[in-house]
Amino acid sequence: MTEQVFLILCLFSIFIIAGTIKGVAGLGLPTTAMGLMTITIAPRTAIALLIFPLIFTNAWQVFRSGNVHQTFKKYFPFIIMLIIFVWLTVNKTAQVSDNTLIGFLGFVILLFVIVNIFKNAPFIPNHHDRKAQIISGFIAGVMGGLTSVWAPPLAIYLAARRVKKEEFVRVSGLIFFIGSIPLLIAYLNQGHMNKELSLLSVFLLLPTFIGFWIGEKIRNKMSEIIFKKFILIIFLIMGLDLIRRAYT
């Protein structure tokens, strides 16, 4: 078995795992894929490979959830800040070292774990919603531009707004989908996304959707709470290991 074939098999397995987690929990695709890929692959290459699975899984989530226009209008301040700062962050941090990106990714994954453990964020009243969206969208844009993971600030904001589960799934799918577009354009503009990586990223849609299908089957047969606790433990270990690798 050649090294290239072995790498493709590893990527196939990683995206099945990441797709499965998203199928069960509704999120966690970039967190899982980035945490596992950066063990052997440079962070920017890993982000490039993630982009098309990120776009299409969330497009599917948006399509199934419906009510797109109303959701877009309601969360427009968050969305516009996300678009602007994903683009700016990718273009302004082109020279940031791989170790810095790995360390920041570890921090973001740990924040993801903390957010999911302590879900009772302080309530944001309606008259502060616009300001909260602007701040959260800015933070999500910076995180997403650096690591392709912007779930923590979005999850904190939605928890603070006390949105229902159906709206959470609809909003997160729409925002993750829209945020992926400037990420793709910026990566093409910076030369991080070449033809070979684009084709491989498209190929990785197959294991991602296989995993997504498996995850939905698992969700119907086992306790979602137990599964999420198991995943959070894995993410905790993954985040700590990324930080260790960045500074050793």
Separation of alpha carbons 155 and 99, rounded Å: 26
Assign 3-state DSSP to the chain and report helix, strand, coil percentages, each to 5: 80, 0, 20
Q: What is the b/e burial string over 145-165, where b = at least 16 CB atoms within 10 angstroms of the residue's CB? A: bbbbbbbbbbbbbbbbbeeee
- For the cut 70, the answer to whether the pLDDT of residue 221 exceeds it is yes
DSSP state of 42: -
- For the cut 80, the answer to whether the pLDDT of residue 45 exceeds it is yes
Whether 179 contacts 185, CB under 8 Å: no
> Within 13 Å and on the Cβ side, how many CA atoms surround 3?
1
Q: Which residue did the predictor score with more confidence, 221 or 40?
A: 40
For the CA atoms of the chain, what is the radius of gyration?
A: 17
pLDDT tens-digit map of 46-85: 999 999 999 999 898 888 877 889 999 999 999 999 999 9
Q: How far is CA 173 from CA 14, 72, 176, in A?
A: 21, 11, 5
The per-residue pLDDT for 224 is 64
User: Per-residue pLDDT averaged across 94-98, rounded?
Assistant: 85
Q: How far is CA 168 from CA 1, 49, 131, 148, 163, in A?
A: 44, 26, 19, 19, 6
Domain residue spans of the chain: 3-246
